[in-house]
Amino acid sequence: MRVSVVGGAGYVGGELVRLLLGHPECQLAQVTSASHRGKPVTMVHPNLRGFTDLRFVAPPDLERCDAVVVAGADEPGQGLSLDDLRGRAPLVVDCGTRLRLRHQATFRQWYGTESEPQSVLDAAVYGLPELHRAGLAGAPLISGVGCSAVGTILALLPLARAGWALTSPACVEARFGSSAGGSQPDLGSHHPERSRAVRVFAPEGHRHAAEVAQALGWSSEQLSYAGVAVEMVRGISISVRCFLAEAVTEREVRELFRATYADEPFVRLVAQRSGLHRLPDPRWLSGTNLCDVGFSLDRSGLRLSLFAALDNLGKGSAGNAIQALNCATGMDERTGLTFTGLHPL
């Protein structure tokens, strides 16, 4: 099938291009960029030298194809509305924010801007296969996912499905690598400010909390969500502190996670009792579509710490989008996504 990438000059766009070039069932048709039109794709994404001769095309020159994947934040002057995109392809996967939340009022509250019309939000399927695999089959419109939201959802999903009650909000700390901020520079990404950073940039109310609450069927008051910038380029590390209403055993927690993710190809339980790599570490997930989840339980059985790690450009965005595309078109969802990561790195 012929797939085009819209807004392909950023980091998510580059990852989409890389994955589609290696996808055995997809042909990369076009890559758009308002600011780089006419330039070789490899001028912006040097890792792809020798793998493609494509040049960026202006957004209005996007041709009809079988699927369009929107890389994320709209480029200035992109000039393509969602209606434009849906007129060019029967399947649109949008990695941006505009379709992630189901209700206009919720989107306005968390993003401070207007969303797509409610009818469009109703038609979009939230693009996390671990939650909506059945709904993705044949879906014409699929939303992207928030990078840290993915890890937080997958860490908490077993508890939410089992109905384990908490006595206080789950406390989430998401530690972000610099690529999560996108390719456009700002003060926070300026090297003297970003280098060696361990900086809390969202001490409370990170907007990904809205996605997590929506996915789990919780209210946003059940989460305390902080974002921290750390010295890393790719990757997100997430810790969630939970205070349980009833004591549990380590065996019960382990069995719950194993049962939840037994058939999930891209979620791994990493919770060893000893060893250097006993809990999830995003370093070993760079370039993969994997999310590792783990846990630690204190002696009382009431304080449960959950952990997740992923590549923000992989399972946190582009890789997940290709997985959702695979699900939507009836392909094996692992197609084109079997890279295992590297060690050491």
The residue type of 274 is S
pLDDT over 80 at 59, yes or no: yes
Report the domain count for the chain.
2
Claim to verify: residue 152 and residue 286 sit in the same structural domain:
yes
Q: Does 73 share its domain with 188? A: no
Residue 333 lies in a domain: no
pLDDT higher than threshold 60 for residue 175: yes
The domain that contains 237 carries what CATH number? 3.30.360.10
Residue 286 belongs to a domain:
yes
Q: What percent of the chain has pLDDT over 70?
A: 98
Q: What is the pTM assigned to this prediction? A: 0.96
Residue 334 located in a structural domain: no
Residues 168-194 have a mean pLDDT of: 89
CA distance 5 to 20: 9
Q: Which of 303, 245, 297 is nearest to 271 (CA)?
A: 297
- Please report how the helices 129-136 and 147-162 are oriented relative to each other, as an axis angle in degrees rounded to 10: 90
> How many percent of the chain have pLDDT more than 90?
88
When pLDDT is averaged across residues 312-336 and rounded to a whole number, the result is 98
Say what the pLDDT of residue 77 is. Answer: 42
Same domain, 184 and 294: yes
pLDDT of residue 76: 44
CA 286, distance to chain mean position in Å, is: 13
Kindly report, residue by residue over 262-281, the tens digit of the pLDDT. 999 999 999 999 999 999 99
115 & 153 share domain: no
Q: Which two tokens stand for residue 6?
A: 């819209």
Q: What is the DSSP string of 189-255?
A: GSHHHHTT-EEEEESS--THHHHHHHHHT--GGGEEEEEEEES-SS-EEEEEEEEBSS---HHHHHH
- Using alpha carbons, list the distances in angstroms from residue 38 to 31, 53, 63, 122, 321: 10, 12, 15, 37, 26
226 and 116 share one domain: no
Contact predicate 248/310, CB 8 Å: no
Helix locations, the chain, DSSP H:
11-21, 41-44, 82-88, 104-111, 118-123, 129-136, 147-162, 191-194, 208-216, 250-261, 319-328
The yes-or-no answer on residue 65 being catalytic is no
Both 250 and 322 in a single domain?
no
Which tokens in the block code for residue 39? 């330039």
Q: What's the rounded mean pLDDT across residues 37-65?
A: 97
Q: Is residue 234 part of a domain?
A: yes
Catalytic residue among 26, 65, 147, 291: 147
| 209-222 pLDDT tens trace | 999 999 999 998 99
Q: Please determine, for residue 74, whether its predicted confidence score (pLDDT) is greater than 60.
A: no
Question: What range defines the domain where residue 194 resides?
Answer: 147-311
- Lowest average pLDDT, out of 34-48, 52-66, 102-116, 191-205, goes to 191-205
- The average confidence (pLDDT) of the chain is 95
pLDDT of residue 78: 60
Task: Give a yes or no: residue 343 inside a domain.
Answer: no
Q: Are 16 and 33 in contact (CB under 8 A)?
A: no
> At 1, which amino acid appears?
M
For residues 14 and 65, membership in a common domain is answered with: yes
